[in-house]
Amino acid sequence: MEITNSVILLQPGIYILRHPNDGQPPMTISRAPGDPAHNGRIEAIWTPGTMGATLRDGSDCIVMHVQDAPAELLVSAFVQVPGLGALPALRIDKINLDEPAPPTEAPPPSPPPEAAPAERKFSISETGVSLVGHIERVGDAVATEGDLLGDPESNLRLEGFLAVWPDRPQGVDLAYNAVVEGLGLTATTGTGHYCGSKGESRRISEVTFALIGAGAGQFALEGSAHFSGGFSAPVSSGVTVKGPENGHLTALRLNVIPVAAENPWEQAPRAKVFGIKRPAK
């Protein structure tokens, strides 16, 4: 076995790291001993299959938050045939957040006393399904399981979304697609993949979510999809939700619930007892 290495530099931000899933071998991610200036703090969560740092195929995912300064990562691939290993390359998707406006040289005096707006916080729960999306004129936002992504009352367009499921059990995944204005029906994708558009003000007119895989029957999907004009409809696995004509998606809420296995004895019909009539002596 041969180990090939490459080094990548990540600027401060939030990233989703995935295996390229194109026949490349498993990869491990670690901190590279590089430039002392690249000492940014790293916070990460990962799917159970990564065991903290290993990406084996496209079902593995690491969500990484680089803070304060850039950070260098060492990517190591384990090649079975020596001499045939190319430099490993990750799939890296950056989640773009709105940057705060820089202060001017001479800021005008602050008007008195209105309550300051609440600081926007970006965090992904380590359990359940979180939704990350892009909202018209607002930017990127996140909602943990059971919370709304977007504001139904604002009528602002939810232009696209992706689902993150850090503790996703083996044998089940969440698949989804959407109908996007000017693009039509998107390809069906799974957790960790973006669906829709961003910064183009395109309408999403319908969405479909489904639990897939051998273990899908052990879970139920519930939630709601909200469209302009105050229209909303429940979300369940495999059912397409469509808004009113010329309406657009404004908010989503999802929740994945384990389903208790049915007891087959409780479903069995009542047994009949047959007697045996013996002949008289």
Question: Do the beta carbons of residue 125 and residue 144 sit within 8 Å?
Answer: yes
Residue type, 86: A
Indicate if the pLDDT at residue 252 is higher than 90: yes
The pLDDT tens digits for 49-84 are: 676 678 877 777 888 888 988 988 888 877 765 555
| % of the chain surpassing 70 pLDDT | 76
The pLDDT tens digits for 213-233 are: 999 999 999 999 999 999 999
Indicate if the pLDDT at residue 4 is higher than 70: yes
> pLDDT averaged over the chain?
82
The structure tokens listed for 20 are 């390229």
The torsion region of residue 192 among left (phi > 0), alpha (psi -120 to 50) and beta comes to left
Indicate if the pLDDT at residue 177 is higher than 70: yes
Indicate if the pLDDT at residue 7 is higher than 50: yes
Indicate if the pLDDT at residue 134 is higher than 70: yes
User: How many Cα atoms are found within 13 Å in the side-chain-facing hemisphere of 9?
Assistant: 9
Confidence of residue 242 (pLDDT cuts 50, 70, 90): very high
Number of C-beta neighbours around residue 197 at 10 A:
20
Q: Which of 32-41, 98-107, 147-156, 214-223 is least confident? A: 98-107
What domains lie within the chain, and their CATH numbers? 2-95 (2.60.120), 130-258 (no CATH)
